[in-house]
């Protein structure tokens, strides 16, 4: 999972080439109906980016709750594993998932500060001597 994330970030970086963005935060949406354990992901992310161009970038995980849609009546509901994810209205098996399977980068906070702003000249250019 972390590997996929890093590949996505590499792809994203290429879009800014030749500048290398300094990434501060990566906001990731993670559905609760994925097998991803957010705390674990944050730890592996921290290990994976150490020493890379993403070193220091913080991974911020936003959980997306599982929401199903009941096919017979089209109502959305919160599937409950203890009820076999069946809809409370019609007791229908969960066939449609509205949200909860997300695993995507929602936004990236970054800056080009180091590259975009040229270092100030050590000495301001001398004005032309008065004629």
Question: Least distance (Å) from Zn ion to the CB of residue 83?
Answer: 13
Q: Which residue in 9, 64, 63, 6 sits closest to 38, CA to CA?
A: 63
Question: Least distance (Å) from Zn ion to the CB of residue 72?
Answer: 5
Residues that bind Zn ion (CB under 5 A): 70, 73, 75, 87, 89-90
Q: How far is CA 112 from CA 24, 106, 116, 118, 120, in A?
A: 11, 20, 5, 11, 16
Nearer to Zn ion, 56 or 88 (CB): 88
Under DSSP, is residue 120 helix (H, G, I), strand (E, B) or coil?
A: coil
Question: Least distance (Å) from Zn ion to the CB of residue 88?
Answer: 8
Nearer to Zn ion, 43 or 89 (CB): 89
Nearer to Zn ion, 7 or 90 (CB): 90
Strand-pair category, 96-99 with 67-69: antiparallel
Question: Least distance (Å) from Zn ion to the CB of residue 69?
Answer: 9
Nearer to Zn ion, 98 or 111 (CB): 98
How many CB atoms are located within 10 Å of the residue 26 CB?
23
């Amino acid at each position: 999972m972390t590997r996929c994330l890093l590949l996505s970030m590499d792809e994203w970086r290429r879009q800014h080439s030749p500048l290398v963005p300094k990434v501060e935060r990566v906001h990731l949406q993670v559905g609760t109906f994925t097998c991803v354990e957010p705390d674990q992901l944050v730890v592996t992310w921290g290990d994976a980016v150490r020493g890379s161009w993403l070193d220091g970038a913080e991974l911020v995980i936003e959980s997306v709750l599982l929401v199903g849609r009941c096919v017979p009546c089209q109502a959305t509901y919160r599937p409950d594993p203890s009820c076999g994810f069946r809809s409370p209205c019609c007791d229908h098996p969960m066939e449609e998932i509205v949200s909860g399977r997300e695993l995507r980068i929602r936004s990236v906070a970054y800056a080009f500060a180091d590259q975009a702003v040229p270092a100030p000249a050590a000495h301001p250019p001398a004005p032309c001597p008065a004629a």
